[in-house]
A and B are shown apart, each in its own frame.
Chain A
Amino acid sequence: MTDQAGLERAYRRLLAWYPREFRRENEQEILAVLMADAPDGQRRPGLAQSADLIRSGLWMRLRPSVPRSARTVRAAVRLMYAGAAVSTVNLILLLALIADIEIYHAIPGHHLTAAQVSQVSTLFITICTLWDLVPIAVWLWMAQTCGRGRNWARIVSTVLFGAATLNLTSAFNWLPPGNHLTLVPMFYGPTLPVLYWLAGLAVVWLLWRPASSAFFRPPGYTQAQHQAQTAEFDHQAQMAELARLRARLPRQV
């Protein structure tokens, strides 16, 4: 195997960090740039180049590319990432605070031994961690799929918001004062869950705006049709920008 062929294979392996759709469109082009940028005689990717490709690939996987003209979808996707960030902070705070929670206070009428408390604590921490990972994963998944114009994701987001609404109202109805054993973030009073719910409401509202509906594709849409639609969005945005610039000209003269 020649140096060039080996280097190209190594670069292809690194490009596997990128999303499949992005690779399909850009892999050959990036490979050409990487090979052109490689010094003569280089046999394998350098450490900095590898780290750069892995970092960029991961970032591209996390960041959906919504055209600037689809403003409402962009805002909804940003809110979803904010939701994921809040959920992550909530999980960190929960784990930090959980050590201070005396579990047996959460189970009225039960007097547990120290060993039982330890056992229940471990179980409690595990359940809480897993439960808190669910909204983080859901927020990120919905942000990704909605950002790619999947219409089913918009419907699933709305259904999940309905479920979250039921979960929130249930938590408020069932919780006796002072009871901390709950699966919604109630450790800091009702403010956080209400803000959380409002963020969900805003996401659903944004996703179903008429401007968003133009971005979402009906079932059966092909990749080529989506690219054509995105190009149309680009064209419309450019035309709007041109019209705006033209409108400013007479005032400047």
Chain B
Amino acid sequence: MILTALADGAQHGYGIITDVRDISGGQVRLRAGTLYMALDRLRADELITVDREEIVDGRLRRYYRLTPAGTKLLADEAARLQAHASVALRRLNLAGGMAT
């Protein structure tokens, strides 16, 4: 979900939290501790990187973006989920057709 939040472009920490909330329709509420643990792991795995830093209202705001490896992983995962969803929908339609 964090990678998905960054698919549109670079985002800062709070932006990722609100974006993940929107993407999940309010189902997933990331907390700061969990977010920064995940960001640290994603950075270590070279899936995301720091894009830029800004100071807003006297506070540090760091923007993250996907690396080529992160983009590829997200694309692969999205394609895999899409393939699963397609199979599930096709089979459900078939089952519906047989029942009627």
Residue positions of A touching B, CB distance < 8 A: 22, 26, 28-37, 48-49, 52-57, 59-60, 65-69, 234, 237-238, 241-242, 245
Q: In the bound complex, what is the Cα–Cα distance between A60 and B43 (angstroms)?
A: 13
**Smallest distance from the beta carbon of A23 to chain B beta carbons, Å?**
11
Residue positions of B touching A, CB distance < 8 A: 12-14, 17, 31-37, 40-41, 43-46, 49, 56, 59-62, 67-69, 72
| Contact indicator A28/B59 (Cβ below 8 Å) | yes
Q: In the bound complex, what is the Cα–Cα distance between A238 and B69 (angstroms)?
A: 7
Chain A residue nearest in CB terms to B57: A32
| Contact indicator A245/B37 (Cβ below 8 Å) | no
- A53-B60 contact given A33-B13, A68-B46, A237-B46, CB 8 Å threshold: no
Q: In the bound complex, what is the Cα–Cα distance between A35 and B12 (angstroms)?
A: 14
> Which residues of the other chain, B, contact A36 by a CB distance below 8 angstroms?
14
- A52-B34 contact given A237-B69, A238-B67, CB 8 Å threshold: yes
> Which residues of the other chain, B, contact A22 by a CB distance below 8 angstroms?
40
Extra A-B contacts (7), CB below 8 Å, given A28-B59, A29-B36, A234-B49: A29-B61, A30-B13, A32-B61, A53-B33, A56-B37, A65-B44, A241-B72
